[in-house]
Amino acid sequence: MKDDKLNRIFDATLSLTGKVGIAGLKMSSIAKEASIATGTLYLYFKNKEDLLNALYFKLQKESAPALISEIKNLPIDIQLYKMWALALKKLVENNLRIIFLEQFLISPYVSASSKEMDSRFKNYLKGLLEKGKKENQIKDVDSNILIALVIGFLRNFSTHIVNDKNSKLSEKSIDESFALCWEAIKR
């Protein structure tokens, strides 16, 4: 019950952020969207900054790739493929979250500690790529460039799928896009 209301608040916040950006977020709109009274928000959060930071931490936590342990020992191209497919699905599913996260990090509401977190996924990817280079499977190119390719492509493609009514994420599009990515970075 209480939990349910919390989730409604978070969902409302995400949804509104997608529509009007963090710049346009009003506590009253959040309440309305979540079908509660404005005052109720303040039973759950000290203030707006608190609410946004709580949401930020929740999203961070959820995106921690539980997947990593499962795939640790597969060949690199398979691992990359699995991460690619998973990330793409998540990005598409959670497009609103991503908009929020991106905006949040340069909004005036970020607490200092929020800024430190992040980038576990990126770090793992980096390690993976580095290992691939050692094993001669992946081009010996600055990891930062490789990472930019993988993550940039991923984000952009997912945004495209979400925004374009005619596109849908299918096994085929996952495979096709991964093939491109792999061809770019493989030795």
Partner DNA sequence: CAAAAATATGAATAAATATTCATATTTCAG
Partner DNA sequence: CTGAAATATGAATATTTATTCATATTTTTG
Q: Which does 139 bind (CB under 5 to 8 A by kind): DNA, a copy of itself, none?
A: a copy of itself
CB 181 within 8 A of CB 84: yes
Residues 104-143 that bind a copy of itself (CB under 8 A): 106-109, 139, 141-142
What part of residues 16-45 is at the interface with DNA (CB under 7 A)? 25-28, 36-40, 42-43
Residue entry with tokens 């050692």: 134
Q: DSSP assignment of 18-74, as one string?
A: HHHTGGG--HHHHHHHTTS-HHHHHHH-SSHHHHHHHHHHHHHHHTS-THHHHHTTS
Contact status: 164 vs a copy of itself (CB under 8 A): yes
Verify binding: residue 49, DNA, rule CB under 7 A: yes
Rule CB under 8 A: say whether 23 interacts with a copy of itself: yes
Structure tokens at 136: 């001669």
Residue 41 burial (CB count, 10 A): 22
155 binds a copy of itself (CB under 8 A): yes
Question: What, of DNA, a copy of itself, none, does residue 48 touch, CB below 5 to 8 Å by kind?
Answer: DNA
Binding site for DNA (CB under 7 A): 1-2, 5, 25-28, 36-40, 42-43, 46-49
